[in-house]
Every structure is written in C-alpha cells, then in structure tokens.
Amino acid sequence: MSESRQKAWPFGFAPLGDLSSIPATEAYRLLVPHRTREELVAIKAAVDEAVQAFYQSAPPEPQPELIAPPVVRAVPRRPKLHQVRVFATDALEDAKRKFDVMDEGQQKYAKAVLDDASKHSGFRALPRIRPALKRLEASQAQFANLREPIEKLRIDLTLAKAMRPVDFHIRPILLAGPPGIGKTHFARQLADALGVSMTQWSAGSAQSAFQLTGSDSSWRQGKPGLILEAMARSDTASPVFVLDEVDKIGKDMNYPVLPVFLDLLERNTARTFEDTFFALPFDASRIIYVLTANDLSQVPEPVLSRVEVFDIPPPEPAQRLQIIQAEVGRLQRATKKRIALDVHAAEALADRTDLDLRQTHRLVVDAFATALAIRKDIATPKVPPRAGRASIGFVRGA
C-alpha cells in the first residue's frame, strides 16, 4: 500500500476493497479497522480453500442422458379395394442388398426387375369381375368348342366376387386336344376378357427349372426367373400364364421342371414362391394357369391331379368363320384400314377343317397384308388345295 494513499486514511483503518460482497464503488471504499480487514482476508481464504477441496473430492455431476429422437417409421400403405400384396417391402429391400455380389451387367438387369416389382408399393390389382363375366358370356358364341372351360371360369369368378380380395383364386385348367384348335387363342381371349397380361411358355422346349425359378446370382449367366419377371412387369396379381405342351415335360434333365410346376399349381406353396436369383419370396398364388396338351395320356399324373381337364374338339365351320371375322376385325383396328375379307373366300376357308387355326390365321393375315400393299379394299385368302387329292387324267397304256 503506497505511503501517499495510507496518509489519506485515518490511522488504523483501510478500505474494504474486494472483500466486499456488494459490487459497488461505495462498498469498496468503506474503511474498516486493519484487524477486521485481516480477519476478513483470512476468512475468505479459508472459504476459497474449502470450496476448492469440495469440488476436487465430489463425484462428477451426472451428464443428462441424451434421448434419441423417436424413429418415425413409414406408415404401411393400405391396399386399395381391389388390390392385394404380391411383394413384401422387407423382402424387396433384402433383395437389393444382393447387388454387391453381382457383376455390372447383372446389376443393371436386376435393378430394372426390382424397380418393376417395387411399383405400387408391391401391391397388384385384381381383375374386375363384373365386366369380365360379361365378356366371357359374350365370348361363348365365338368359342363354341370351349363352352365348358368358359362356364367353369364364370363359376370361379362368381365365387371370387363374393369373397374377400385376398381369397381370390381361379383353379388351373388344362385344355387337351390336337394342335391348332384354338387352345392358346382362347387363353389370349381370356386375358383380354379379364383385362390382364398374358405370358406364354412352352414346357416342351424347357431346358431346366431355372427358366421359371431363376438361377443363382453367383453364376455369371444367372438371371431372374420367368415367373418373377412376369409378376414384376404386370400391374395385376392375376396374369394369365399359359404353360404349353405339358405332355412334353422333360423327365431326364438335371433340374426338372415338374417339381416347380407342382409348387406353382398348389395354392399354399405358390403363396411363398421364391426366385432363386434374388432369394426373393413373393405371392404367385393368384396367377391364372392355363395348361395345354396334345396327348392327355402323356401328362404326368401329379399335374392331372391339380388341374381341371377339358377335352377340346376342333371348331366347326360356323365357329371357324367367326374366328376368321374376329381376326379381320382385329387387323382393321390395328391398321385403321377398312379392308374386308372376300365373303366367298372367307366361307371357303372356314369350311377347310383340315387346316388348323394357326394355318387359317396366317392365311388371313397374309391376305390382309397383300390388300394393304396394293391398296385394295377387299382381301382374298389363297386357300391351298386339299392334300392327297389326285389329279384327273388318263392312264397310259390302258
């Protein structure tokens, strides 16, 4: 303390200074006896030391627990009135994680398939039954030789209309008969009546079950199966799937098709059908299966026990004429050209029951295309002569 400052204070006194607990200039300048000020300094030092000792020995204060914000999960999409789930969201996410083990070419192809499968959040629409029933009823006139399977389908659809969407199911049917009598054509018309897509696959030319189930993604040539691809592309849970020539199913292949067929035809196993490429389970139980066979005796018994069999006779000339006229109408709509078929030529072609419907179809298309090319309004099919007819003539040397 400087001598000049000390002279300004009375003897034996000193200002309180920073010992004051009141932050004010007047409090700092308050004069107190020297002894009192020394006692206050000693007390302040003791208090500071005690506080420091307390904080050094006391356990650290618990930090407030950080509570993670609640995870907001996406609300599952509710199906619309005529929709059912085909692909589960978590199964699709698991499938996408397999991209890492695929090569670049596989990834590009696989991504496109999974993107298709993920549309509509994995839901697919069911056929609209009321208009489908009306179209099937109208088609009975055109498919006189297929009245029985059409009536069976109408019964199944009527029952499905009275049930919940998740219970929609059409029993598989097998159409047996010689080639070219309209079995595949009927399946195509059925898909049109239901307003669904159609996929056709020949069992007779099948090389292995991998074509249906997909092959392992670890194989360089691995790819998804036909069933998954058809369901992924489709907007419906019930596409028409035509399995042609099931009487020619190979039995000696390393990866036989028959077990896969049976899984697809059984409703319980089809609900969790799995594509091998993605290891992706999905619901294939509402697919509408139409099987065809030329020789019923060659169809495996396990297949026959899972389908309803219909023997299909060849169409009569009157029905053939209706089919010819329907094909001309289709070509007119597709080309927007009012080209008609010569009436007499059409009747003559309808009478040729020795020509199957495939041949008849080709003759009609060729005649229409020819008329279109030469700008004629009337198309005349070139009906071939009947096979085996001998020419009339004289025998030499008689």
* Ranges of each domain in the chain: 10-57, 83-311, 317-379
Q: Round to whole Å and give the CA distance between 275 and 289.
A: 18
pLDDT surpasses 70 at 253: no
State percent of the chain over pLDDT 70: 81
Report whether 214 contacts 232 (CB < 8 A).
Answer: no
* CATH of region 83-311: 3.40.50.300
The amino acid that residue 43 corresponds to is I
Average pLDDT over residues 290-307: 93
Query: What are 112's two structure tokens?
Result: 């496109």
- pLDDT by residue (tens digit) across 111-154? 899 999 999 999 999 999 999 999 988 887 777 888 899 999 99
Q: Match 């036989």 to its residue by tokens.
A: 256
User: Is 35's pLDDT higher than 90?
Assistant: no
List, in sequence order, the alpha helices (H) in 174-294.
183-194, 210-213, 226-233, 258-265, 267-270
Q: What percent of the chain clears pLDDT 90, i.e. is strictly above it?
A: 47
The pLDDT of 190-197, averaged and rounded, is 91
pTM exceeds 0.85 for this model: no
Q: Please check whether residue 172 is in contact with residue 267, taking contact to mean a CB–CB distance below 8 angstroms.
A: no
- Residue in 357, 361, 350 with CA at minimum distance from that of residue 177: 357
Pairing outcome for strands 173-176 and 288-293? parallel
Does pLDDT of 347 surpass 80?
Answer: yes
Q: Which residue has the tokens 């650290």?
A: 60
Position 395 confidence tier, pLDDT thresholds 50, 70, 90:
very low
Q: In what order do the strands lie in the sheet with 308-311?
A: 198-202, 240-244, 288-293, 173-176, 308-311
Nearest one of 187, 181, 220 to 202, comparing CA atoms: 187
| pLDDT confidence of residue 270 | 96
- On average, the pLDDT of the chain sits at 83
Q: Cβ distance 280 to 86 under 8 Å?
A: no
Q: Is 89 left (phi over 0), alpha (psi -120 to 50) or beta?
A: alpha
Q: What is the pLDDT of residue 67?
A: 64
Could you give the 3-state DSSP secondary structure of residue 85? strand
| For residue 391, pLDDT beyond 50 | no
Give yes or no for residue 392 having a pLDDT over 50.
Answer: no
Sign of CA dihedral 272, 80, 169, 208: negative
Q: What is the pLDDT of residue 203?
A: 83
CB 181 within 8 A of CB 313: yes
